[in-house]
Protein backbone atom coordinates (compact mmCIF):
# COMPACT_ATOMS: atom_id res chain seq x y z
CA UNK A 1 0.00 0.00 0.00
CA UNK A 2 2.52 2.53 -1.20
CA UNK A 3 1.75 4.82 -4.14
CA UNK A 4 3.78 4.64 -7.33
CA UNK A 5 6.06 7.55 -8.07
CA UNK A 6 4.42 10.86 -8.94
CA UNK A 7 5.55 14.42 -9.55
CA UNK A 8 4.77 16.81 -6.76
CA UNK A 9 4.01 20.48 -7.35
CA UNK A 10 3.55 23.03 -4.63
CA UNK A 11 2.38 26.31 -6.16
CA UNK A 12 2.51 29.39 -3.94
CA UNK A 13 -0.20 31.41 -5.65
CA UNK A 14 -3.50 30.78 -7.33
CA UNK A 15 -2.04 31.91 -10.66
CA UNK A 16 0.82 29.43 -10.32
CA UNK A 17 -1.59 26.68 -9.36
CA UNK A 18 -3.80 27.32 -12.37
CA UNK A 19 -0.74 27.55 -14.55
CA UNK A 20 0.63 24.19 -13.51
CA UNK A 21 -2.83 22.60 -13.76
CA UNK A 22 -3.18 23.95 -17.28
CA UNK A 23 0.20 22.58 -18.20
CA UNK A 24 -0.41 19.11 -16.74
CA UNK A 25 -4.04 18.73 -17.79
CA UNK A 26 -5.50 15.29 -17.11
CA UNK A 27 -2.23 14.01 -15.66
CA UNK A 28 -2.66 16.03 -12.48
CA UNK A 29 -4.80 15.65 -9.42
CA UNK A 30 -5.30 18.41 -6.89
CA UNK A 31 -4.24 17.63 -3.32
CA UNK A 32 -6.06 19.54 -0.61
CA UNK A 33 -7.06 17.52 2.48
CA UNK A 34 -6.03 14.25 0.92
CA UNK A 35 -8.46 12.20 3.00
CA UNK A 36 -9.79 10.29 -0.01
CA UNK A 37 -7.09 10.78 -2.62
CA UNK A 38 -4.12 9.62 -0.56
CA UNK A 39 -5.67 6.27 0.47
CA UNK A 40 -6.73 5.69 -3.14
CA UNK A 41 -3.17 6.32 -4.26
CA UNK A 42 -1.73 4.09 -1.54
CA UNK A 43 -3.98 1.30 -2.71
CA UNK A 44 -2.90 2.07 -6.26
CA UNK A 45 -6.53 2.58 -7.25
CA UNK A 46 -5.56 6.04 -8.38
CA UNK A 47 -2.17 6.75 -9.90
CA UNK A 48 -1.96 10.35 -11.05
CA UNK A 49 1.31 11.27 -12.69
CA UNK A 50 1.36 14.51 -10.74
CA UNK A 51 -0.08 16.02 -7.61
CA UNK A 52 -0.69 19.73 -7.35
CA UNK A 53 -0.66 20.49 -3.65
CA UNK A 54 -2.74 23.66 -3.18
CA UNK A 55 -2.24 23.81 0.58
CA UNK A 56 0.24 26.67 0.21
CA UNK A 57 -1.92 28.81 -2.04
CA UNK A 58 -2.98 31.85 -0.02
CA UNK A 59 -6.57 33.02 0.15
CA UNK A 60 -8.33 29.70 -0.37
CA UNK A 61 -9.09 28.83 3.25
CA UNK A 62 -11.79 31.40 3.97
CA UNK A 63 -15.40 30.96 5.01
CA UNK A 64 -17.26 34.08 3.94
CA UNK A 65 -20.76 34.78 5.15
CA UNK A 66 -22.80 37.45 3.45
CA UNK A 67 -26.45 38.45 3.54
CA UNK A 68 -27.50 35.72 1.16
CA UNK A 69 -24.76 33.08 1.08
CA UNK A 70 -21.91 31.20 2.68
CA UNK A 71 -18.86 30.84 0.46
CA UNK A 72 -16.47 28.10 1.49
CA UNK A 73 -12.95 28.26 0.07
CA UNK A 74 -11.13 25.25 -1.37
CA UNK A 75 -8.84 24.93 1.65
CA UNK A 76 -11.46 25.46 4.35
CA UNK A 77 -11.39 22.29 6.43
CA UNK A 78 -14.64 20.67 7.42
CA UNK A 79 -13.91 21.53 11.03
CA UNK A 80 -13.39 25.20 10.15
CA UNK A 81 -16.82 25.34 8.51
CA UNK A 82 -18.38 23.32 11.30
CA UNK A 83 -17.13 25.67 14.01
CA UNK A 84 -17.69 28.98 12.19
CA UNK A 85 -20.34 30.77 14.24
CA UNK A 86 -21.46 33.07 11.44
CA UNK A 87 -21.82 30.22 9.01
CA UNK A 88 -23.85 28.37 11.59
CA UNK A 89 -26.16 31.34 12.14
CA UNK A 90 -26.64 31.75 8.43
CA UNK A 91 -27.00 28.10 7.46
CA UNK A 92 -27.45 25.80 10.48
CA UNK A 93 -27.71 22.84 8.11
CA UNK A 94 -23.97 23.08 7.38
CA UNK A 95 -22.94 22.17 10.90
CA UNK A 96 -25.76 19.68 11.26
CA UNK A 97 -24.56 17.77 8.22
CA UNK A 98 -20.84 18.19 8.92
CA UNK A 99 -21.21 16.44 12.25
CA UNK A 100 -22.11 13.35 10.23
CA UNK A 101 -19.01 13.61 8.05
CA UNK A 102 -16.47 11.05 9.30
CA UNK A 103 -14.70 11.92 12.55
CA UNK A 104 -13.04 15.01 14.00
CA UNK A 105 -9.55 13.94 12.96
CA UNK A 106 -10.67 13.53 9.37
CA UNK A 107 -12.68 16.76 9.48
CA UNK A 108 -9.56 18.55 10.70
CA UNK A 109 -7.81 17.73 7.42
CA UNK A 110 -10.55 17.07 4.91
CA UNK A 111 -12.03 20.00 3.02
CA UNK A 112 -15.67 20.65 2.24
CA UNK A 113 -14.91 21.55 -1.36
CA UNK A 114 -12.79 18.41 -1.71
CA UNK A 115 -15.68 16.31 -0.50
CA UNK A 116 -17.91 17.89 -3.15
CA UNK A 117 -15.41 17.29 -5.93
CA UNK A 118 -14.92 13.68 -4.78
CA UNK A 119 -18.66 13.15 -5.28
CA UNK A 120 -19.27 10.06 -3.17
CA UNK A 121 -22.95 9.20 -3.60
CA UNK A 122 -23.28 8.55 0.12
CA UNK A 123 -21.56 11.76 1.21
CA UNK A 124 -23.50 14.45 3.05
CA UNK A 125 -22.11 17.71 1.68
CA UNK A 126 -23.20 17.17 -1.94
CA UNK A 127 -26.77 16.78 -0.65
CA UNK A 128 -26.45 19.99 1.32
CA UNK A 129 -25.19 21.84 -1.76
CA UNK A 130 -28.24 20.58 -3.69
CA UNK A 131 -30.69 21.47 -0.94
CA UNK A 132 -29.36 25.01 -0.71
CA UNK A 133 -29.24 25.65 -4.46
CA UNK A 134 -25.51 26.00 -4.23
CA UNK A 135 -22.83 26.02 -6.84
CA UNK A 136 -19.14 25.30 -7.20
CA UNK A 137 -16.80 27.89 -8.66
CA UNK A 138 -14.18 26.44 -10.98
CA UNK A 139 -11.16 28.43 -12.03
CA UNK A 140 -8.70 27.66 -14.76
CA UNK A 141 -5.94 29.53 -16.50
CA UNK A 142 -8.46 30.52 -19.14
CA UNK A 143 -11.33 31.64 -16.94
CA UNK A 144 -13.93 30.86 -14.36
CA UNK A 145 -17.33 29.20 -14.29
CA UNK A 146 -19.99 28.47 -11.70
CA UNK A 147 -21.59 25.04 -11.91
CA UNK A 148 -24.89 24.61 -10.07
CA UNK A 149 -25.25 21.63 -7.78
CA UNK A 150 -27.71 19.79 -9.99
CA UNK A 151 -25.18 19.79 -12.85
CA UNK A 152 -22.04 19.38 -10.78
CA UNK A 153 -22.53 15.79 -9.60
CA UNK A 154 -22.28 13.75 -12.76
CA UNK A 155 -22.13 10.23 -11.35
CA UNK A 156 -20.75 8.12 -8.56
CA UNK A 157 -17.37 9.57 -7.60
CA UNK A 158 -17.61 11.94 -10.53
CA UNK A 159 -18.06 15.68 -10.73
CA UNK A 160 -17.90 18.26 -13.45
CA UNK A 161 -14.31 19.37 -12.85
CA UNK A 162 -12.37 19.45 -16.09
CA UNK A 163 -8.65 18.96 -16.56
CA UNK A 164 -6.88 22.21 -15.77
CA UNK A 165 -9.60 23.41 -13.42
CA UNK A 166 -9.43 24.04 -9.70
CA UNK A 167 -12.57 24.12 -7.58
CA UNK A 168 -11.83 27.33 -5.67
CA UNK A 169 -15.00 27.60 -3.64
CA UNK A 170 -18.47 26.30 -2.96
CA UNK A 171 -21.36 28.65 -2.40
CA UNK A 172 -24.29 27.68 -0.23
CA UNK A 173 -27.28 29.98 -0.46
CA UNK A 174 -28.77 31.17 2.75
CA UNK A 175 -32.36 29.99 3.00
CA UNK A 176 -35.07 32.61 3.69
CA UNK A 177 -35.68 33.69 7.26
CA UNK A 178 -37.89 31.22 9.11
CA UNK A 179 -36.60 28.24 7.17
CA UNK A 180 -35.99 25.04 9.01
CA UNK A 181 -33.68 22.24 8.12
CA UNK A 182 -32.67 18.79 9.22
CA UNK A 183 -30.24 16.05 8.30
CA UNK A 184 -30.72 12.47 9.40
CA UNK A 185 -28.93 9.34 8.40
CA UNK A 186 -28.40 5.72 9.21
CA UNK A 187 -24.80 4.60 9.03
CA UNK A 188 -23.28 1.33 10.16
CA UNK A 189 -20.98 3.07 12.60
CA UNK A 190 -20.86 6.64 13.76
CA UNK A 191 -19.06 8.63 11.07
CA UNK A 192 -19.31 6.04 8.32
CA UNK A 193 -20.72 6.93 4.92
CA UNK A 194 -24.49 6.76 5.15
CA UNK A 195 -26.40 3.61 4.30
CA UNK A 196 -29.12 6.17 3.62
CA UNK A 197 -29.41 9.79 4.62
CA UNK A 198 -31.96 12.53 4.16
CA UNK A 199 -31.54 16.27 4.35
CA UNK A 200 -34.65 18.44 4.44
CA UNK A 201 -35.28 22.16 4.09
CA UNK A 202 -38.66 23.79 4.56
CA UNK A 203 -39.21 27.46 3.88
CA UNK A 204 -42.21 29.57 2.91
CA UNK A 205 -44.42 26.51 2.54
CA UNK A 206 -42.10 24.80 0.11
CA UNK A 207 -40.16 21.73 1.07
CA UNK A 208 -37.41 19.71 -0.47
CA UNK A 209 -35.43 16.73 0.59
CA UNK A 210 -32.13 15.38 -0.70
CA UNK A 211 -31.31 11.73 -0.22
CA UNK A 212 -27.90 10.08 -0.17
CA UNK A 213 -26.82 6.47 -0.50
CA UNK A 214 -29.77 5.68 -2.74
CA UNK A 215 -28.62 6.84 -6.16
CA UNK A 216 -25.65 7.73 -8.30
CA UNK A 217 -25.37 11.02 -6.44
CA UNK A 218 -27.48 13.11 -4.13
CA UNK A 219 -31.14 12.75 -5.09
CA UNK A 220 -33.01 16.04 -4.77
CA UNK A 221 -36.78 15.68 -4.40
CA UNK A 222 -38.92 18.83 -4.36
CA UNK A 223 -42.11 18.22 -2.40
CA UNK A 224 -45.15 20.14 -3.60
CA UNK A 225 -47.33 18.78 -0.83
CA UNK A 226 -45.08 18.06 2.12
CA UNK A 227 -48.08 17.59 4.41
CA UNK A 228 -49.47 14.72 2.38
CA UNK A 229 -47.53 11.66 3.53
CA UNK A 230 -48.69 9.50 0.63
CA UNK A 231 -47.58 12.02 -1.99
CA UNK A 232 -44.24 12.49 -0.20
CA UNK A 233 -43.70 8.76 -0.03
CA UNK A 234 -44.53 8.31 -3.70
CA UNK A 235 -42.25 11.16 -4.77
CA UNK A 236 -39.30 9.82 -2.79
CA UNK A 237 -39.88 6.27 -3.93
CA UNK A 238 -39.98 7.32 -7.57
CA UNK A 239 -36.80 9.36 -7.33
CA UNK A 240 -34.39 6.93 -5.72
CA UNK A 241 -32.52 3.98 -7.23
CA UNK A 242 -30.95 2.14 -4.32
CA UNK A 243 -28.68 -0.84 -4.85
CA UNK A 244 -27.54 -3.80 -2.78
CA UNK A 245 -24.07 -3.74 -1.32
CA UNK A 246 -22.29 -5.57 1.46
CA UNK A 247 -23.74 -3.30 4.11
CA UNK A 248 -27.41 -3.21 3.17
CA UNK A 249 -29.97 -4.39 0.68
CA UNK A 250 -31.71 -2.09 -1.79
CA UNK A 251 -35.01 -2.95 -0.04
CA UNK A 252 -33.69 -1.79 3.26
CA UNK A 253 -32.36 1.43 1.78
CA UNK A 254 -35.73 2.06 0.12
CA UNK A 255 -37.39 1.55 3.47
CA UNK A 256 -34.92 3.86 5.23
CA UNK A 257 -35.50 6.56 2.63
CA UNK A 258 -39.15 6.62 3.66
CA UNK A 259 -38.53 6.45 7.39
CA UNK A 260 -35.85 9.12 7.38
CA UNK A 261 -37.84 11.43 5.08
CA UNK A 262 -40.79 11.16 7.45
CA UNK A 263 -38.62 11.88 10.45
CA UNK A 264 -36.76 14.75 8.81
CA UNK A 265 -39.98 16.42 7.71
CA UNK A 266 -41.52 15.92 11.14
CA UNK A 267 -38.53 17.65 12.62
CA UNK A 268 -38.78 20.71 10.40
CA UNK A 269 -42.55 21.12 10.23
What is the contact surface with other proteins in residues (CB under 8 A)? Answer: 1-5, 39, 43-44, 103, 186, 188-192, 195, 246-249, 251-252, 255-256, 259-260
Nearer to other proteins, 2 or 238 (CB): 2
Nearer to other proteins, 92 or 191 (CB): 191
Nearer to other proteins, 76 or 256 (CB): 256
* Shortest spacing between CB 251 and other proteins, in angstroms: 7
* Shortest spacing between CB 93 and other proteins, in angstroms: 21
* Shortest spacing between CB 248 and other proteins, in angstroms: 4
Q: Which residue(s) pair with 73 in the sheet? A: 169
Nearer to other proteins, 122 or 125 (CB): 122
* Shortest spacing between CB 44 and other proteins, in angstroms: 7
Q: In what order do the strands lie in the sheet with 206-212?
A: 180-187, 194-203, 206-212, 219-223
* Shortest spacing between CB 194 and other proteins, in angstroms: 12
Residues 6+ apart with CB under 8 A from 155: 119, 216, 217
Q: Do residues 253 and 195 make contact, with C-beta atoms less than 8 angstroms apart?
A: yes
Burial of 158 (C-beta count, 10 Å sphere; 0-12/13-18/19+): middle
Nearer to other proteins, 234 or 259 (CB): 259
Parallel, antiparallel, or unpaired for β 28-31 and 50-53? Answer: parallel
Phi-psi label, residue 231: left if phi above 0, alpha if psi -120 to 50, beta otherwise: alpha
Amino acid sequence: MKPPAFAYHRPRSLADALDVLARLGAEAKVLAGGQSLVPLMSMRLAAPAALVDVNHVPGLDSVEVTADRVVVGALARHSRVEHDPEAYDAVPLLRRALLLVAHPTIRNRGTTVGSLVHGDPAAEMPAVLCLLDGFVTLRSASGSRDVPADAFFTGPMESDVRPGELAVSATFRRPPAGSRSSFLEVSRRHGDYAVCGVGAVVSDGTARVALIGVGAGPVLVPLDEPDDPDRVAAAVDAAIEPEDDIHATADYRRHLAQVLTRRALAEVS
